[in-house]
Amino acid sequence: MAALSPTLTRERRLSSASAIAGAMTNVINTDGYERDEVFTASGNEFQQSWFNFITTKGTVLNNILVPGFLFTVWGATWTIIYMLTSFRVLFPSSQALISIISFVVALILGYRTNSAYDRYWEARKVWGTLVTHSRNLARAFWCSTSPSTPQQEIERLGAINLIMAYSVALKHALRDEQGFHFSDLAHLLVHVPKFRPGARNPPKENIPMEIVLLLTEYVRNAEEAKILEATPKSIMNGCIGGMIECLTNFERIRNTPIPLAYAIHLKHILVLFLLALPFQISQVLYWLAIPVMCIASFTLLGIESISAEIEQPFGYDVNDLRLNEFCNDLRMELNALTHNSKSDRDVLSWNLGAVRDKNKNV
């Protein structure tokens, strides 16, 4: 058999590599990936219309309905006693008590709300930083490495799979879901031997750190194979270090909630304030004290309940961060990246003259 020419051999090698690349990039796809249920159903429409204030989805009404009703009944009972009987012993004429307690309640509730939202917003900013590092790392893998064999193509695509797997694994870890046997994660790790079905002693905890180690190993291996230069290597290691920093920040947010003593003491103050309120307002508002008691209970209990809900923003509640949607957006970006060939971004193929000629013909 005649020997193949170097050009033909190179074309066949690239064709084989392209076939493998196509098979690997199918792993990073958006089919069947679940978004957060509330945003699949209604998107952000409830934030765009005043008429959506009547909905209960995304509210804390279910959490405060019973205690709010009990405090309203409490206030109504003492208002009826004041209006229909001559019992006045527990109804002081001075409003000093409500003035003092109102200031304290407002101060503590304000601090509680700000602290909870700071945690929520910081978590969102950290996830944005994670997306930035993931994009830069994927760009560096795809554009700064030069695989010359089908095996090196598989390794590069496998590394990009690991970038996607890192975000998904981190999402599950923040939700206290250990392991990697999840429908949106297992297929991204199947090319790694210790994550394959039937592997002995597969990792079960801190999967994100396991993935970071694999990414670091890929960078080292690419340098040894001489498909990676020193400058891109520094960029890659910087991105990987940034991903570890994001993991640490997420763990700090999740594992450091508002001190229990502070949260309990706030509840004690709210209860005392609402219990004392009817004795202060009944002699001023008379029968109007009943709806005022209902409004006060709804407002104060609602603010406290909202703060408690958003201080841990990694769960499945409507008001939690849309981690599923964030991962899905990254998945689509990586899918588009891995289907972008080198010829599509070849600078030498740029030709402004062709555009000018086309405009002249028009």
pLDDT digits (tens, 9 = 90+) for 181-216: 898 999 999 999 888 887 777 777 889 999 999 999
Q: Where are the domains of the chain?
A: 118-276+304-340
Region of poorest pLDDT, from 35-49, 119-133, 150-164: 35-49
* Calpha distance 24→53 (Å, rounded): 47
pLDDT of residue 362: 53
pTM for the whole thing? 0.79
Name the phi and psi angles at 229, rounded to 5: -90, 175
pLDDT of residue 53: 66
Helix, coil or strand: residue 214 = helix
* Calpha distance 161→28 (Å, rounded): 7
* Calpha distance 152→16 (Å, rounded): 12
CA distances to 13, 141, 242, 250 from 137, rounded to whole Å, are: 26, 6, 10, 20
Q: Is the pLDDT of residue 48 over 80?
A: no
The string of pLDDT tens digits covering residues 99-120 is 788 888 888 888 889 999 999 9
Fill in the amino acid letter for 290: I
Tell me the percentage of the chain whose pLDDT exceeds 70: 81
Q: Is the pLDDT of residue 55 over 60?
A: yes
Residues 238-267, mean pLDDT to the nearest whole number: 92
Residues 247-276, mean pLDDT to the nearest whole number: 90
Q: Is the pLDDT of residue 241 over 90?
A: yes
